[in-house]
Structures are given as C-alpha cells and as structure tokens.
Structure 1
Amino acid sequence: MSALWIPDQNTITSSNLQAFINRVKEVTGLPLEDYSDLYQWSIEDRPAFWQRLAEFYRVQFHTQPSAPLINDSMPGAQWFPDSTLNYAEHLLQQRDNKTALVFQGENGRRRTLSYRELYQSVAAAQQGLIAGGIKKGDRIAAFMPNCPETIILMLAATALGAIWSSCSPDFGIQGVLDRFGQIEPRLLLTVDGYFYGGKSIDCLAKTAQIQQNIPSLETTVVVPFANPEPDIGQINTLNKNSNAILWADFCQPSSKSVSIIPVEFNHPLFIMYSSGTTGVPKCIVHGHGGTLLQHLKELGLHTDLKAQDTIFYFTTCGWMMWNWLVSSLALGATVVLYDGSPFYPEPATLMDMAEAENVSIFGTSAKYIAALQKAGVKPASSHNFQHLKAILSTGSPLLHESYDYVFQEVKADVRLSSISGGTDIISCFALGCPILPVYRGELQCRGLGMDVHFVDTTGSSLTEAKGELVCQSSFPSMPVGFWNDPDGNKYHNAYFNEFAGVWAHGDYGELTRHGGVIIHGRADAVLNPGGVRIGTAEIYRQVEKVEEVLESIAVGQEWEDDTRIVLFVQLRDGVTLNDQLIRKIIQTIRSNTTPRHVPAKVLQVTDIPRTISGKIVELAVREVIHNRPVKNTDALANPDALDQFRQRQELFS
C-alpha cells in the first residue's frame, strides 16, 4: 500500500517530535533513529519517558516528585508521587498581546482575546469565585456553549484547586441532572441562550429547573450570549434560594494576579461523563498532572503544535475534545472556538472560517468529513489553505473514502491524522505523527508511552488481525477514579474485569504492518453472524460508497439460534428504499468484504439516534429491536429517532 502523504525532510527536522528525539539521545545516549525506536523505548522505560517529557516541556512542579512512578500496576499506579503542580498555571504562562482565543458564532459574531486579556479576565473571574467562598475541592459546573467565558472560568476555578465539569446547552434537563446532580456543584455557569441552525434557543427556563433540582447550587452565573441584556429574574422567581447573577457583576476586576494553588499530581481537575446510554453516566475523574502531561505529549509531539500555530477543533463543552483543545494554550498557540451548526448557513461554513483565521491545525469528526463529501463541497477549488498543515479526525473511524476525499478535494499536501481514544483517558491510544507517512484507512501510530495491543479472547497479542484494544501497562492519564465510588469497584469493573491488570478499552481493531492502527468499531457493538466477528465500521465503509445513502447503522439481531445483521439506512431527500437500491447496497458490501458482512435485512429510517457528541448508538438500537428498554434516552441528542426501530414488522420474518 502506497502512502497518501509522506513528510519531507524539512517537516521532519523542524518537528517538535524530532527535537524531542534529539534531546533524549543527547541526555541518555540511546540510539534512537525514528519513531519506532522512540515508541519502543517509551514503552520499555515508561518512567524515564514521562520524566523526559516533563523536562522537555518544562512542567512546573512546586514540589518535585520523589520518583516518576511507584506501584506500577493497573489500577493503583502512582505517577509522580509526592509532587505538586497546577494545570491552569501552565495555560496562563503567556501574558503578552499575542492572540490566545478567537471566537466565532454561527450568527457571525467574532471576538478575540490576547494572552494578556485572557489572564486579566481569569483574574477577575477568580475574584468572583473567591468572594463566593469557592475553595480547593469544590465543584464548578458549566452548562455552556463553546465560548471564551467557559475557558475563563475553568482556568479561574482550577487555579484554585476547584474541580471543573461541563456539558453543552443542548443537553436535556434530565441529562444535566444525571451528570451534575451526582457531583453536587456549588456554582453553575450558564448562558441566557444559544444559536443553532439559525435559531435562538432559550436556556433560562432550563437553568431555573437545573438550579431547582440541584440543592448544592449556591450561585448561578449567567453569561449574556443570545441577548446583550437578558432578564434573569425568572431564575430567582422560581427558586427562593436562588442567587443568579450576570457575568459582568460576578467578575471583579482588580490589579491582583491569578492565585495559583499547588495541588497533588492526582488532585481532581475535570469530572467527565460516559455517554450514559446504558444507564446513569459514570463520573470519570481526571487529575491535574496526568491530563497536563498527556495533552502536552499529544498536542506538542503528535500534533506538532507550535506557538505560531492556530488550532481549531469543532467540539462542544460536553466532549473531551474541548478539554484537549483548551490545553493548546499551554503551548502558546492561538485557539479558535466555534459555536453553532457546522453546516449553517451553508456546508462550507467551517472551511470559510479556517481560511479566514489562517488555521494550521483543523480538527473535526469523521462524520463531518463524510457529510462534506456527500454535500459535494470541494474546498480545494474555492479556498486558500496555505497555512493548513494538519487535519485531525475523531469520534468514529474515518472511512477509507474520506481519506481520498480530503487529499483530492480539501488539500493534497496535508497530514490527515485520524485519532482514537476517549473520555475515559481524556486522550488517545492511537493518533497522528508528523514524521510518519499517512496510509489510507490507518491511524498513523500508537501513542508514546501507551502500551497498546490488540488481543484475542485469551488476551494474546495480535498483529494484522482483529482483536480488542487493550493497554497492558499503566499511564499517567488513567482516571483518578470515579466520583462516588469509594471502594473503586465501578472503576475496576469498567476497565479491568476482562483481563486482570490490563486496561480493556472496548474498541475493536488491529495493528498494521506499518505500526499503524485500524479501528473497526466498538467491541460491544461487534456483529457476530455465524460466530464470525465483524466490526460495524467495516460495513459503514462500504455503505458510504452508495450515493443514495446519507448514513447507516448496523446491529445484530438474535435470530433462530444465531445472529443476523440488520442494516438501517438514512437516504437522501426524495430517495425511497426499493429492491433495486437494496441490491445495490448488498452488492457493494459483498464485493468489497465477505458474504458474512452482507445484512439479512436492509430497512429505511429517516433519522439515526446519536449521542449529544454525535456518535451513533448501535447498542440502543440493538436493545430497541429486541423490545428491551433503553435505560437513559436523555443521553441522546434525538431520542425520538428510536421510535423508527420499534416493532418493525420486517424484523419478524
């Protein structure tokens, strides 16, 4: 297989990764010649790797660690024990007039903040927190769009050692309560409303209900977002104990510096949430030190982010990519924030923004790239992307055809890095690399310091064969634990039940002969007709080739003592599923895979259920077609879509 992109010598020698290799060679004398050598060393001597990384990026320990690692086990490993530091301090190092944040809303609003203005804004917001008695360990919740105030209060809070948790304002009331209700926040940050798809959507009524149902909330801070002077009286009217205040009144500008509280390496920084489609979401706690180190590694070495770069990721505050993106401030880059529909007012909206803001690293979802292709958008012929050096994709496996589309219709000379990890580790197991080629359908490499393997049911490692993704050794960004899980049982059961002492991530894929990775889907959604394991992404890749199909979802149906594949397809407007189109879909799948991949049934739907972060939910559909309850539909962006899968007569024959 020939590479779609190969780094030239200047790209390699000028990369942060090559500088890191050179530094390690200089300090250790190790004969490291390429990424493979570096990766192998990072696995064989993980304590030394993470220590060298901390030195390379000048991590500011207030108290030095007694060792890089003790008790090297999973769970239970202690990275950088006895050390203290603060995540926020590293993001607030720069205080000059360089642009730190650029915000664009779908309604055309644009704002910028320099690093100096960001620091001053954080200092003012922090005075509001201090006046409210917020201290180390208190929880701060944000029901916010992706705008500067969200970052400002996060930095103000985490600098004090308070714990941050956020979700986007498109969550339903129950979805918010299922998350924030578990962690008992003292303060809620929210907005009066937000824009999506050309509509203004009110948040004040939701906010009043949230405050009414979370007794721990003492203060609600409202950022004017949809209206310059919102009426927040209704919040106080509905709640006798409410203390709702506007953002401008909460912040207290002063000449004081940002107060930085040194905290333990594993002191909770972020509380994040599992998708919650099979029950109440798990509250996953990530620490200051592990998050910082992983993000410095991934942004600095794997993404090759430099201070002169402008980075964008299309994300909401309810997805871990927001936390990942914000960490770019630690490297002095300019961070572009966008809030709204990526297709409003037209499909090329984000492409226009990337050109206008001179974005050099553009991140998005695999679904967005596929949707651009389906919409016939050809940015290479209409946009100037002279600054664009990398495109990142995550959320689901990037289709082979999407690789072709990017290089043919977006930019021929760009590093396309599909990345894969998750909220569970607030980072990636496999991702990009500036000094390695890009191959069609492959993630470029396993992450440094991440002992990733694909294993069979006995736990034996596989190469060029499909298996479950595991990490066989500890790493710093493992969760500190789950909230309200004092004995650690929920945490242990989530990752360590399948293979003792080994992190089982739940993805299904393979390691290629290039050292790259292919993800075939979620392990718990793997199809098993006739005992043959098939990743759903293998089917989606083929269905996407059919012009009439916008999107599809495949599930296994229990049928006659076996499992049969049922494929549901969402078609373009005006297209109806008929026998001819079914034959075309089946023939496309059969010709490019195996007869085992061919669905027994192909059925039409007008919508496919997905989480609020945009991931399709095979497990929920599987439960519905078997007439079993879906435990938490509030985790879905479009729960009504499930109705199309219930009691389908075609599934009874």
Structure 2
Amino acid sequence: LRQRVASLAGALQNLGVVEGDRVVAWLPNAIEVVETMLASASIGAVFSSCSPDFGAQGVLDRFSQITPKVLVATDSYIYGGKKFDCLERLAIVRKGLPSLNATLLVSANDSPLMGDLIWFEAFLKSGAKSPVVPRRFGFDHPWYVLYSSGTTGVPKCIVHRTGGVLLQHLKEHQLHCDIKTDDRVLYFTTTGWMMWNWLVSVLASGATAVLYDGSPSFPTMNRLFDLVDQENLTLLGTSAKFIDSARKSEIDPVNSHSLRSLRTICSTGSPLAPEGFGWVYEKVSKSVHLASISGGTDLCACFVGGDPASIVYAGEIQRPCLGMDTDVVDDQARSLKKSFDIAGELVCRSPFPSMPLGFWGDGTPGLPDPKSPGPKFRAAYFERFPGMWSHGDFASWSSHGGMTIHGRSDTTLNPGGVRIGTAEIYRAVEQHPDVFESMVFGQNFDNDVRIVLAVRLQPHISLSAPLVADIKLRIRNACTPRHVPAVVVSVADLPRTRSNKLVELAVADAVNGRPVRNIEAIANPEAIDAIVAALQ
C-alpha cells in the first residue's frame, strides 16, 4: 500500500496537482479510493468522495462546488447481485466539471477507453519512477471535504482539518473501541458516509481496514457475520437499522457462526432501540462489547460513544467521548445533566479538535478561514445557543452517566405545543411483529400539527383497522397518549438518503405543500409521492 500510494502521489504531482487542489473519487468501497485519499493527503491536496449509486446531479451538487482538478471514477458497481453501469452518468458528471484536468477510470473490464479517460492502474504505475515521500503539513491543513445530507437544500461542503480529525479517530479507535495493532476492522459503509473516513483511519493504529462494498443482506442477512468468520474481524461496524432488520429476520448468528474473533460491534446512523441491544447479546455474542456511538459528518467524529471498561445498558450510549464537553440543555441553555431522562438539545460547550475549518465558499470563495468562519457556518452551529456548538440532536442524560439519543431535533414533533422526539415512537412501533419499518412526521392540520405514521409492513401483511388499533395501543402504552399518531398509512417503501437514512424532513415538506429540496439526495423519491398519495 505504501508503495502504491507513493507512486500515485508522484503521478498526481506529474499531472500538476499541488497543495490545496481538490482530488475527488466517485468510487465503490474498494482499495482504489483508499489509495487516492492517502496519495492526495501526502501531497497536500484536498480529497472528497461519494458513492457510485449517486445520480449525476447528486454528484455535481457536491463536486462542482469545490472545483476538482482530478476525478477518479468507476465504470460500474455491483449491489445485491446486480451490476449497475456508470458510464452514461460519468459523461454528464465530466461535462459539469470544467475544472477537471484528468479523469481516471477504475474498471474490471479491458474494453477500450472512450475519449480522454485514463486507466487508473496505468496512471498509478506511471508515477513509479517519481514516487513521493509524504510531506508534513500544519495541524489545520484541510484533509477532506464531507457533505451534509442535502435533504434541506444543496449539500453544504464541510471542510475538515487533518490533525483534529486524525486525533479524534485515534482516540475513538484506541480508547473507546479498544482497537489494537493487528486488529481487523470492517465498518459497513459507502464512500459517501463519514464512517468510511472513520474506518480508513484505523490504519493509523496499525490495524487492518477490511473493505466491503455491496448489500449487507445479500445473498442472506448473515452476510456481515459471514465476513466476521471469513476475515477474522475483531470489530464489526454497522447501523441500528441493520441490527433491527437482522433481529426481525430471525437469523441466529450465535449458533450458525463461530464469531470467535469478534470483540466489538459498533452501531450508529440512528438510535439503537433496547430490543437491538438485547438481540445482539442473545443472538450474536454474550461477551461482545456493543458500542452505540453518535456524532456526525459535521465533526467526522463522535460526541458520545462506547466504553470497553464499563457496563452496557440497553438503549443507552455509554458515555461522552473523552475530551468532549458534551451536554444536554433545555431551551434556556440550562444543563440537564442532573435531570435524568429529560430530553433537550445536545450541545458541546467547548471547542474540540475536529471542529470543521468551515464550509466551502461560505462568505469568501474557496477554502474557509478557520479564524473567521462564514455566516452559514455560524448560523448552523452557534445561532441557537451562542457560545455552544448545537448539534441538532434531541437527547437526554441517564442516571448511569450515559446518554439516550431521541432523534434529530429538527424532526421533533410538536402537536399541541408539546415537543415529542420521534425515536420513542419508532421504538414502540418497530417492536410490532407485523411492522418491518416505519417513519413518523408532522402534518399541519386544523391549525395544529398531527402525527402521521407511515409503515412498511412485513410480507403478506395488510393494514387493517385492528392492526392500526394495535399499533396505536402499543405506542400509548410505551409512550404517552400524545405520542399516538392521528393517521397510520401503509406504503411499499420508505424514502431514504443514499446512506440509508430515513428522510422525515423531506416527507414533512412534501405533505405540507412545501417543495422538497435537493431531491437528488434521496435514493427513492417515488416513495415520497406514495406517502403523499396515501394521505389524500
């Protein structure tokens, strides 16, 4: 890897890439994207990536803002056993990026290249005669650009500093996840999610990053557990959604697999329900450390995470991450640390190493000035509570010193003026054996806001009046009468981003007659239309 990165860095320099230039990758989660990121960093170029399942407009919404000099792309990718061609979209992307000096193509085929495309492998080898010895740059030198989800408008380009992010990752890997030299780590992720960046940083701890691209449930729901045994994984990272789907599929990894090497399972992306914790310890391993973690693209790190030396409590994240002045506050910015189980806004009271340099093009063209972040950056994180980083999560402290995340505060429901986090409803609904997954959102109705629940039912189950009544009763018993939805509708699928996160805000916009911004960020926008139609 070191030799290939040095050769690729040499080839990039020979092409004219210099410190501060942008190199972007539109690739699946394979070795080429790791090589491209490391080679870019070694010469001071700024790296950015997104996954090949993005449409052309989604790619351009991201990459066009940062005017890249080099694009590394794939001609195809495989998901769920099916091959998807990318060349038609690639032509559109290249046309929309006039700043490009070169496009490198990663391909498993030997078909002739079209136009001025360059084979990635040949390009890499061309730098073997002038390999680069990595340069040292400042702590705040930009490492990569990540993107907000784009569900509330054109994605924000979040510029991250090298030293701060790497320091956070080293801390989280070695202290919170107990990653050691020679460990083998796989986090199920695409190249468009911050967990890809988090995964690759395990190389700094001397561990092996195991890359997997494709569906986590193909050919069976046991796919990730198959990989644990095949690759002797010590840490498996996944999402709360996958754990919940695995629980409902009734697989039994503890009896069907060895899993002898596995010490840690990480879960993120959304709150992990208590039932998910129970399933992992009953059906996967009684001795594994289950680390529910929560942070975000905004910091490319975590505010709260695991503690391998402490007790795991179902439904809770174990502790604030070390060095993070994390708190939960009420609307008057008063701490709720001693008010157990009272939900408020997740904040960070003090600066932390991986605070972004800023947003690209925010106030001034190009790279942000970390000493003077732009107006959009200040509004995004510091407008709600001046002097504190407001993260946009609805959370509460537990009596054990841990924290429960109740969902995004911008999806908090407010029927009758009472704030309700969506996670409580999700936990109640998704325990129902007939419900595969669900989405809850608010709809303006009769001068108030009513709660609407959209459900995707298990195969061969139809929504009936008795089933609706049973779902509502479960919510009432598990939560409060205020949590009970006014309307329950059944749909074939739920809309989600390309990193598999549900898009409650986009649905709320649609059902309330507001335009859905940046529809390209949504993997299946037709599912929004289906929900709107079901409510008519």
Same fold (TM over 0.5): yes
2:56 paired with 1:176: no
Contact 1:361–1:389 under 8 Å retained in 2? yes
d(CA) in 2 for partners of 1:359, 1:256: 36
Alignment of 1:446-457 (within 5 A): 446-457=320-331
1:546 partner amino acid: H
Kindly report which structure 2 residues correspond to 1:392-411, keeping only aligned pairs within 5 A, or say none.
392-411=266-285
Q: Is the 8 A contact 2:8 2:131 kept in 1?
A: no
Aligned to 2:85: 202
User: 2:274 & 2:430 partners in 1: Cα distance?
Assistant: 10
CA contact (8 A) 1:270 1:285 kept: yes
Q: CA deviation at 1:437?
A: 0.8
Is the 2:75–2:105 contact (alpha carbons within 8 Å) kept by the matching residues of 1?
yes
Give the corresponding residue for 2:4: 121
Say if 2:180 and 2:207, in contact at 8 Å, map to a contact too: yes
Cα separation, 1, equivalents of 2:324 and 2:486: 39
> What's the counterpart of residue 512 of structure 1?
398
Larger Rg: 1
Distance 2:29 2:158 in 1: 21
**Which of 390, 408, 412 in structure 2 is aligned with 1:526?**
412
- State whether residues 192 and 230 of structure 1, in contact with CA within 8 Å, keep that contact through their aligned partners in structure 2: no
One-letter code aligned to 2:83 = S
SS at match of 1:553: strand
After TM superposition, the structure 1 stretch with the greater mean CA deviation from structure 2, 275-284 or 125-134, is 125-134
CA contact (8 A) 1:627 1:646 kept: no
1:378 aligns to 2:249 (yes or no): no
AA aligned opposite 1:249: A
Distance 1:255 1:188 in 2: 22
TM superposition shift of 1:648: 3.9
Match of 1:479 in 2: 356
For 1:342-381, list aligned pairs within 5 A: 342-381=216-255
Match in the other structure for 1:439: 313
Deviation of the 1:647 alpha carbon: 4.6
State the 1:446 CA deviation. Answer: 0.3
| Residue from 428, 437, 441 that aligns with 1:542 | 428
Residues 204, 232 of structure 1: 8 Å contact kept? no
CA distance in 1, matches of 2:479, 2:238: 28
Q: Give me the whole-angstrom Cα distance separating, in 2, the residues matched to 1:413 and 1:276.
A: 39
Q: Is the 2:10–2:131 Cα contact (8 Å) retained in structure 1? A: no
Q: Is the 8 A contact 1:625 1:647 kept in 2?
A: no
Match of 2:162? 288
> Residue type of the partner of 2:11?
G
| 2:306 is the counterpart of 1:425 | no
> One-letter code of the match for 2:322?
L
Q: Deviations over 1:503-526 (max 9, x none)?
A: 000000101111101000000101
Give the counterpart letter for 1:151 in structure 2.
Answer: V
1:563, distance to aligned residue in structure 2 (A): 1.7
Q: State how far apart, in whole Å, the 2-side matches of 1:319 and 1:541 are.
A: 24
**Paired residue for 2:120?**
247
- What residue number does 2:490 align with? 604
Provide the C-alpha distance between the structure 2 equivalents of 1:596 and 1:278, rounded to a whole number of angstroms.
Answer: 27
One-letter code of the match for 1:165? S
Aligned partners of 1:195 and 1:201 also within 8 Å:
yes
Change (3 A) 1:230 1:491: farther
TM superposition outliers: structure 1 runs of 4+ over 6 Å: none
Work out which of the residue numbers 26, 33, 57 in structure 2 matches 1:150.
33
Amino acid aligned to 2:102? T
Task: Give the corresponding residue for 1:337.
Answer: 211
Tell me by how many angstroms 1:244 deviates. Answer: 1.2
Which residue of the partner structure matches residue 517 of structure 2? 631
Alignment of 1:273 with 2:147, yes or no, is yes
1:518-572 deviation line (CA, Å, top 9, x unaligned): 0000001011122221110100001111111110000112222222211000011
Q: Give SS of 1:442's match.
A: coil
CA distance in 1, matches of 2:533, 2:83: 36
Give the SS at the match of 1:369.
Answer: helix
Asked if 1:167 is matched to 2:50, the reply is: yes
Q: Cα distance, 1:308 vs. partner?
A: 2.4
**How do 1:99-114 residues align onto structure 2 when only pairs under 5 Å count?**
none
Q: 1:645 aligns with which of 527, 531, 535?
A: 531
CA contact (8 A) 2:7 2:131 kept: no
Secondary structure at 2:210's aligned position in 1?
A: strand
Q: Which amino acid aligns with 2:160?
A: H
CA distance in 2, matches of 1:499, 1:184: 34
Deviation at 1:132, TM superposition (A): 0.5
Write the deviation string for residues 305-356 of structure 1: whole angstroms up to 9, x where unpaired: 0012111100000000000000000001111100011111111111101111
Decide whether the 8 Å contact of 2:395 with 2:406 is kept in 1.
yes
Question: Could you tell me which amino acid in structure 2 is paired with residue 482 of structure 1?
Answer: F
Residues 586 and 599, structure 1, Cα contact 8 Å, conserved in 2: yes
The one-letter code of the counterpart of 2:356 is P
User: Unaligned regions of 5+ residues in structure 1, if any?
Assistant: 1-117, 237-242
Is 1:312 the equivalent of 2:186?
A: yes
Q: Secondary structure at the match of 1:188?
A: strand
Letter in 1 for 2:58: G
| Residues 1:256 and 1:245: Cα distance change in structure 2 (over 3 Å) | closer
Of 231, 240, 243, the match for 2:112: 231
d(CA) in 2 for partners of 1:181, 1:385: 44
Change over 3 Å in CA distance of 1:417–1:435 after alignment to 2: same
The offset of 1:257, in angstroms, is: 5.0
| Number of matched pairs | 523
TM-score by length of 2: 0.96
One-letter code of the match for 2:112?
Answer: D
Instruction: Establish whether residue 297 from structure 1 lines up as the match of residue 171 from structure 2.
Output: yes
Task: Tell me the secondary structure at the aligned position of residue 449 of structure 2.
Answer: strand
Superposed CA offset, 1:615-650 (max 9, x none): 101101111111211011100111111111225445
Q: Distance in 1 between matches of 2:112 and 2:307?
A: 49
Deviation of 1:262 (Å): 1.8
Which secondary structure does the structure 2 equivalent of 1:264 belong to? Answer: coil
Cα distance between partner residues in 2 of 1:609 and 1:458: 34
Normalising by structure 1, we get a TM-score of: 0.79
| 1:246 maps to amino acid | W
Aligned equivalent of 1:29: none
Question: In structure 2, how many angstroms separate the alpha carbons of the residues matched to 1:645 and 1:574?
Answer: 20
Query: 2:466 aligns to what SS in structure 1?
Result: helix
Given the alignment, which residue of 78, 95, 113 partners 1:212? 95
Deviation at 1:205, TM superposition (A): 1.5
User: Per-residue displacement from partner, 1:471-495 (whole Å, max 9, x unpaired)?
Assistant: 0110110000110112611111110
SS in 1 for 2:394: strand
Q: Secondary structure at the match of 2:212?
A: strand
The residue number in structure 2 matching 1:8 is: none
Aligned in 2, Cα 1:301/1:255: closer, same or farther, shift over 3 Å? farther
Q: Aligned partners of 2:113 and 2:458: how far apart in 1?
A: 42
Alpha-carbon distance in 1 for matches of 2:176, 2:203 = 16
**Identity fraction in percent:** 50
Q: Give 1:579's aligned residue.
A: 465
Tell me which residue corresponds to 1:592: 478
Offset of residue 253 of structure 1: 5.3
Structure 2 portions without partners, runs of 5+: 365-372
How much does 1:254 deviate?
2.8
Deviation at 1:256, TM superposition (A): 5.5
Secondary structure at 2:401's aligned position in 1?
A: coil
